[in-house]
Amino acid sequence: GGDASRLRPIIPGGRDEIPCVQGVQRDRLAAFPYNRSIGERLPGTPHACSPDNHEANSMDMPVNVFKRKIATPDVAYGAWLSASSASTAEALGCAGYDFLVVDMEHSPIEFPQVVEILRAIAGTPASPMTRVPWNDMVMIKRALDAGAQTLLLPLIQDADEARRAVAYTRYPPDGVRGVAGMQRAGRYGMVANYARHAADELCVVVQIETVTALAQLERIAEVPGVDSIFIGPSDLAASMGHLGDI
């Protein structure tokens, strides 16, 4: 944190060449975190659900492939998802994009649909980016507990708002995220030490959408925990007096 030059831009939309989906899928499956199985229980070994066997059958922390992608020189290409259909999300996820924006701000997608959409995208080469409706502690907490790891936060105006956004994603003492023992993000208690290591796999993307925010761009980018800056062209154009002219 603290170095604006480390941030990578994100380019939503298509590209001239989308790499072979099968090739992308092979690379992504190799990095998939869901690679442990219980298998057959040998005589004398504890049952999978036994407290004595909990550590042996614990799950790995889900890996945020998107966060690693934008830390490289490669450009991440994505598409917008405004439909609440998990099947649509799955189809787009198989099309070769690096990420899909699950838009809760300007669409009817609600938390029950978000969970199903995240599940659908998890089986594809794409990574989900969940845009919550507002920079709100409760909404961010619910999105994270539902399993979102990359958040897009709208209408961040200055460094203080960016700091609050980051704090909403972190557990105490680094932030104010509420702690739940059993939630989808921690695979219902099966990810060992989830609360201690959750922040390592979180990606915070803030939106610059006004002239005011544009003037504060460097200070916003310097906030520790802000991983990327996303320019919102429609609202920024409106703020500049060019409503609908983008």
Contact 205, 10 (CB under 8 A): yes
User: Could you give the C-alpha distances from 46 to 40, 41, 42, 49, 188, in angstroms and in order?
Assistant: 11, 8, 9, 8, 20
Cβ neighbours, 10 Å, residue 4: 14
Contact 115, 146 (CB under 8 A): yes
Catalytic site includes residue 54: no
Of 102, 201, 80, 210, whose CA–CA distance to 156 is shortest? 210
d(CA 136, CA 60): 29
Check 47, 106, 197, 242 and give the catalytic one: 106
**Catalytic residue positions, numbered:** 106
